[in-house]
Amino acid sequence: MIPTLLQLALLFGGLSLLAFGGGTSVLPDMQRVTVSTYHWLTGAQFLDFFAISRAAPGPGSLIVVLIGQKAAGVVGALVAFLAMFGPSSTLLYVAALIWHHAANTAWRALLERALAPVAIGLTLASGLALIRGTEHGWAQYAVTAAATLAFAFTDLHPLALLAGGAVLMLVAGH
């Protein structure tokens, strides 16, 4: 129990400080370590948790609550939650103090421009890694492709796309 809590704290505390471009960027690492290294859950369960956290209200990174819960119950969920948001929030607070003094400086503009493509690459990588980490059948590929195009090029609400995916999958399964 205690070792598991320590592993949860170290894993999510580390990922918290690596999540450039938002919580999705650490999903590939999260999937690799929680599924393959620690065996807290299967690849299919990881994708289920990802779906639940995307459909529920609040930040998408709340997937860590589900992983902590599966690994070590209520305490695990709490440890995972605090580890995922504590370090990055503290860093943000300190950075905000500097940020105000850096308005209109050259290095701030450079930082903003250089980090944008990194964040975009990480976002795309998270989608690709999730496909790789689960058994994606033809029906899933079709749903993923349709949702990708719909979300990139229309203003459909994310919840409508999640619901559409669920309906398509139920129809395809019967």
Partner 1 sequence: MNRRPTLLSLFTAFASIGIMSFGGGLAAWIRREIVQRREWLDDQQFLSGYALSQLVPGATNVNLTVFIGAQLRGVPGAIAAFVGLTALPVAIVFGLGLLYLHRSGLPGGGAVGGVLAGMGAAAIGLNLGTGIRLGRLHIRRLIPFAVAAVIAVAIGVLGFPLLHVLAVMLPVSLALTWLDQRT
146 contributes a contact to partner 1 by CB under 8 A: yes
Distance of alpha carbon 77 from alpha carbon 43, whole angstroms: 19
Q: For residue 141, which of 126, 153, 130, 157 has the smallest C-alpha distance?
A: 130
151 contributes a contact to partner 1 by CB under 8 A: yes
Q: For residue 72, which of 30, 42, 38 has the smallest C-alpha distance?
A: 38
Distance of closest approach, residue 3 Cβ to partner 1, in angstroms: 21
Which amino acid type is present at position 167?
V
76 contributes a contact to partner 1 by CB under 8 A: no
Out of 8, 50, 71, 83, which residue is the one contacting partner 1 (CB under 8 A)? 50
- The nearer residue to partner 1, 2 or 152, going by C-beta atoms, is 152
Site for partner 1 in 118-137 (CB under 8 A): 118-132, 134, 136
- The nearer residue to partner 1, 6 or 167, going by C-beta atoms, is 167
Out of 8, 35, 47, 71, which residue is the one contacting partner 1 (CB under 8 A)? 47
Q: For residue 123, which of 44, 26, 33, 10 has the smallest C-alpha distance?
A: 26
Distances (CA, A) of 121 to 25, 29, 34, 118, 156: 9, 15, 22, 5, 23
Distance of closest approach, residue 8 Cβ to partner 1, in angstroms: 15
Sign of torsion, CA 85 90 96 99? negative
Number of residues that bind partner 1 (CB under 8 A): 103
- The nearer residue to partner 1, 9 or 143, going by C-beta atoms, is 143
61 contributes a contact to partner 1 by CB under 8 A: yes
10 contributes a contact to partner 1 by CB under 8 A: no
Q: Three-state DSSP class for 150?
A: helix
Return the number of other C-beta atoms located less than 10 Å from residue 71's C-beta: 22
Site for partner 1 in 81-110 (CB under 8 A): 81, 84-85, 87-89, 91-93, 95-96, 99, 103, 110
